Amino acid sequence: MTKVGLVYDPVYLKHDTGAHVENASRLTGIASLLESSGLKARLLDIPPRPATLEELALVHPRSHVEQIRQAAESGGGWLDADTVVSPGSYQAAIYAAGGVLEAVDAVLAKKADSAFALVRPPGHHATPDRAMGFCLFNNVAIAARYALTRHGLKRVMIVDWDVHHGNGTQEVFYSEPRVLYFSTHEYPFYPGSGAVEELGTGPGEGNMVNVPLPAGCGDPEYIRVFEEVVTPVADRFKPQLILVSAGYDAHWADPLASMEVTVAGYARMTGIIKRLAEAHCAGRMVFALEGGYNVEALAHSVRATLETLLGISLSPDPLGEPARSSPRPNIDALLTLVKRAHGLG
């Protein structure tokens, strides 16, 4: 029987952002649906733990960690126009990073075939020395470094399907040959990075694979990207572990973006990643929550991801398809450019 782990804990609700779009209702909405649908009972509970200072230092200098801790202990406040800290944010953030590490440990120890870390605050915009874009610590980047250094892996692939480019993750691994970072994102859009020409440098050149999509892309365009770009680069790289920065803000109902992915589209993308993981790394995958700001769309998309990992039938999607009034975007030229940049034929 397929064993899928779930990391979740009320500690993540202590990151109290008030009326901010990245708020605790995102997690309580997901948890409520998983419970009421009976899906949670089919998942292996993976309790989180706080990441240690040494683990955070795999990506972040002590000065950055101390800045976040002091900001929380002094009562919180705004770090920039988008990113807020509350008194409980530091605890939530170290448990978010540590929760993803526990998921990695469970998968690599074969306690679970795959795992989903239902954590917040999110992480992929956090650079080594800067919190930004709702993110304090870069959970997935820390997990990738942890897998390389603590578990001795030689190749880790990160798939980032959040609608925003993971500038922080890219910065961490821009010259790292052991990490392949793939991102598909709405472009040009926050944070402004993620052009095709951003390929990596030195020994990591070619390991940054960016597919900057125009607004209006939905399931057909995303599935093309996963079949024509993600699949061949993964087949060539042969990862030993796949980490997914799982943001669900490319859903058509999300208020922060202009994409048109459906719940079924996320299930199909998960299925492609699952197939690649089975081909190259004994099915070892860890998903970590990033964005997604329509709570209903987010909850049902996470549910569909977990159902796909479990290999069970998808539940009905109450949101359905978007209403289209314009032609589908043509991404032929973009895919040709990406394939040429990465020698994909």
Residues acting as catalytic residues:
125
Helix (H) or strand (E) holding 114: strand 114-117
Residue 259, classified by CB atoms within 10 Å of its CB into exposed (0-12), middle (13-18) or buried (19+), is buried
Measured CA angle at 227 (ends 327, 219), to 5 deg: 35
CB 282 within 8 A of CB 322: no
- Distance, in Å, from the CA atom of 80 to the CA atom of 328, rounded to the nearest integer, reads 36
- Distance, in Å, from the CA atom of 28 to the CA atom of 48, rounded to the nearest integer, reads 17
Which residue intervals of 38-88 are DSSP H helices? 53-56, 62-73
Helix (H) or strand (E) holding 158: strand 156-160
Measured CA angle at 206 (ends 331, 245), to 5 deg: 70
Residue 332, classified by CB atoms within 10 Å of its CB into exposed (0-12), middle (13-18) or buried (19+), is exposed
Question: Which is nearest to 242 in space by CA: 292, 282, 201?
Answer: 282
